[in-house]
Structure 1
Amino acid sequence: MTDLNEIVDELRDFYLRAHRAIDRAMKMDGVSLARAKLLKFIAAEGSARSADIGTAFGFSPRTVTEAIDALERDGLVQRTPDPTDRRAKRLSITPAGEAALAASEPARQKFVTNVFGILSEQEQQALFKALRKMNDRLEEIDAD
């Protein structure tokens, strides 16, 4: 039987390596993984408030503001007044943001195929089930 700590170490190493590799690949063609996540969220919402982003990603208000400022500075999102709350701003993705997101997607897909494609269909199913089971357990722990 494998030591559980060895599994944790392998999972951590995989996560860190995978995150660096996919981020590097996506940046070369469009936007970083972090920026892509934010842009996808904003695009899916149609428009979003900073508070929505903070809640969805578990970010502090300062982190959200810095990220949105950078996206806006680069022309990837725009802020407009919120029609229901004069203190708030709504964020929407710009055509440049959509283009950058689209440009990075092939690199993300290639990464996913290259890394997870080495697993057989059965291994992919087993990995998915194991990860789903562990994520469900984490939700239970968080709820306690």
Structure 2
Amino acid sequence: MEKDCGAWINLLSHKVRKRLDATFQDLGITGVQSRVIYYILVHSKEGPVFQRDIETVFGFSRSTVTGLLQTMEKNGIILRESVESDARLKRIVPTEKAVCLDAQVAACLRETDRLLTRGLSSGQLQLFKEVAAQMSKNLDEWGETDPCTQL
């Protein structure tokens, strides 16, 4: 039986997550945490990073990001600091531990992407990104016309 697009996406996601989790296990972080650390380190140089930024960029629910950030804070990877202009907001600040993980995290993410895209032309990669972006948009619009309720 031939896999549909959703099955292929699920399979690739599982393989990438498994590889990253195994790679970062010795550092005491998960693959998802590695991506969040990388995001925080890159974007905190440009300005403050907030929980809602992570929710938006990664497509995670508020509760998922809350749990993720609580774990990262408990493990000394981030700090959450109040913002003077709004006491309800907490800026996410990378710690020295996160900075020390930066080179390993960045290298591993680059190597994972290199392995994932090996043998693909730049045209194929561009087409993949365009198709993936359209699929993501389709899923965002799913709630407007849910095909599963039309059956």
Question: When the two structures are superposed, what TM-score results if normalisation uses the length of structure 2?
Answer: 0.70
Distance 1:65 1:15 in 2: 22
Distance 2:121 2:9 in 1: 19
Distance 1:133 1:139 in 2: 10
User: Is the contact between residue 42 and residue 48 of structure 1 (CA under 8 Å) also seen in structure 2?
Assistant: yes
2:40 aligned with 1:42:
yes
Give 1:1-144 correspondences, 5 Å limit. 6-28=4-26, 31-43=29-41, 44-45=43-44, 46-56=47-57, 57-61=59-63, 63-142=64-143
**Structure-2 change in CA distance of 1:90 and 1:128 (3 Å):** closer
- Asked which structure has the greater RCO (Cα within 8 Å, sep 6+), the reply is 1
CA RMSD of aligned residues (A): 2.9
Percent identity of paired positions between Structure 1 and Structure 2: 18
Distance 1:121 1:85 in 2: 45
User: Is the contact between residue 29 and residue 107 of structure 1 (CA under 8 Å) also seen in structure 2?
Assistant: no
Stretches of structure 1 lacking an aligned partner (at least 5 in a row):
none
Partner of 2:22: helix, strand, or coil? helix
Give the CA deviation at 1:142.
Answer: 4.9
**Structure-2 change in CA distance of 1:71 and 1:8 (3 Å):** closer
Q: How many residues align?
A: 141
Distance 1:55 1:125 in 2: 23
User: Is the contact between residue 50 and residue 89 of structure 2 (CA under 8 Å) also seen in structure 1?
Assistant: yes
Stretches of structure 2 lacking an aligned partner (at least 5 in a row):
146-151
Q: 4+ residue stretches of structure 1 with deviation over 6 A?
A: none
